[in-house]
Amino acid sequence: MSLTAADAGTAPPRPALQPAPPSALAAALVVGVCGLTPVLAYLWSLGFAAVVALAGLLAAPLLFRSRRPSLGLAILLALTVWAVVSALWSVATPAHPDFSRYKAVEQFIAPKLVFQLALYGAFVAAAFRLSPRGGSLAALVLAVGMVLLALLFLAEAVLKAPLYQWIRAAAGQATRPDWAMRDVARSGYVLALLFWPAALRFSSRRLWPVFAAMAAAALVGAYLLNADAPFAALGVSTLVFLAVRFGGRPAVLAMAAAVVVYFLAAPLVVLALDQGQLLHPAPGDIRMQSWAIRLDIWRFATQRILEHPLWGWGLDAARTFGPEIPLHTHNAAIQVWLELGAVGALLTALFWAWVMMRVEQLEALDRPMAAAAAAAASAYLTIGALSFGVWQEWWLALGALVAVVCVALAKSREALHPPAGAGA
């Protein structure tokens, strides 16, 4: 008489989690968003929030056969919960909000963060349902789009944005030339974020002129348009790409340590440097004046951090400290410390450490792909350290898009670098 595992008092072995099969819907969504990326970057950068959210909503049915939730998602969920809870004591939360007005509702960051995590996360999860063929098509569409965007970016920078002004005038929204240049400069942020994933798609020797043209156009265009943050991001991401490509795992681990130190020690660094005026911009020196303003913001924000170092001032509190802080701190680490305190800074550092550990795992399988992923992450961190608020919808959507593009590119390379016991 045989005994079953249950009769013997032991649980039967759990079957291994099988990867979900490739999905045509996932391919259509990822390819579609990649195709729209250069158009959105040039004409409507704020539209990334709506497009990525819609893609996530359409991808929601795929979650029923998706991968097991990751540690990174759990950390992001914890950070979101903490941010929402911090709204209870935030100085930015009105005592008697008027929910009958859209503007009043739209200004509430907390509920938007919850929806963004769900929708943007669903889009990222859908990318893991790509087949190598679907990933290759998405990566190709994105790479070609980035080359065309870079060339247009350079042309508009040299010619003072005549095409953009014509399009706006034809749409009945004529704009001043200087404002048109400012709007076109936003394309540089998308170029910087997606430059190295696109460049890796053109890594063969016969395509190196395409890569060279994209690099020159992006750098020169950013310089002419005074887009300092994208210019800096391109420089930093290039150094990171080369370090990981030729240094391998030690370079990835060094970047992981640097990211953790950045988020945990940013206020201490500002305090250490706060020994007087670091910059003395000459009259008319716009670039140096911009840097001096940033330093003043960081000094002021750090003093406020010292008043509530553990819990912070609450979600979205940075915009209440005007005119010293114009809407946000122009530095992700400082804003997280100011609003969410040490708890938020620790969770943010943990998330980015997890990201870099995923890159470290990828390095063992496909070092060029790991270098491109690390470079894209460094570009996002560099721009976040100089521009934009942490909670801006379109900026968070771009972060999700970078993750999707990296997954698609990794999928496209699986035929060349088949995974050995671990996914890309």
Residue 9 lies in a domain: no
Residue 285: pLDDT band with limits 50, 70, 90: low
Residue 18 lies in a domain: no
Count other C-beta atoms under 10 Å from residue 365's C-beta. Answer: 19
Residue 136 lies in a domain: yes
**Alpha carbons 36 and 145: distance in angstroms, whole number:** 9
Residue 159 lies in a domain: yes
The amino acid that residue 420 corresponds to is A
> For residues 10 and 356, which has the higher predicted lDDT (pLDDT)?
356
Whether the per-residue pLDDT at 277 is higher than 60: the answer is: no
Of the listed ranges 69-73, 121-125, 244-248, 339-343, the one predicted with least confidence: 69-73
Percent of the chain with pLDDT over 70: 84
What per-residue confidence (pLDDT) applies to 169? 92
Long-range contacts of 255-259 (CB under 8 A, 24+ apart): 255/356, 255/374, 255/378, 256/352, 256/353, 256/356, 256/357, 256/360, 259/349, 259/352, 259/353, 259/356, 259/381
The model's pTM: 0.89
The residue-averaged pLDDT of 293-316 equals 91
Mean of the per-residue pLDDT values of the chain: 87
Residue 16 lies in a domain: no
**Alpha carbons 173 and 167: distance in angstroms, whole number:** 8
Token look-up 């509702």 returns 105
Residue 414: pLDDT band with limits 50, 70, 90: confident
The residue-averaged pLDDT of 11-35 equals 76
Token look-up 């404002």 returns 179
Count other C-beta atoms under 10 Å from residue 212's C-beta. Answer: 12
The amino acid that residue 349 corresponds to is A
What per-residue confidence (pLDDT) applies to 27? 96
Domain that holds residue 346: 24-93+102-412
Of the listed ranges 119-123, 206-210, 235-239, the one predicted with least confidence: 206-210
Residue 417 lies in a domain: no
CB burial string 230-240: b at 16+ within 10 A, e below: bbbbbebbbeb
Q: How many domains does the chain have?
A: 1
Residue 2 lies in a domain: no
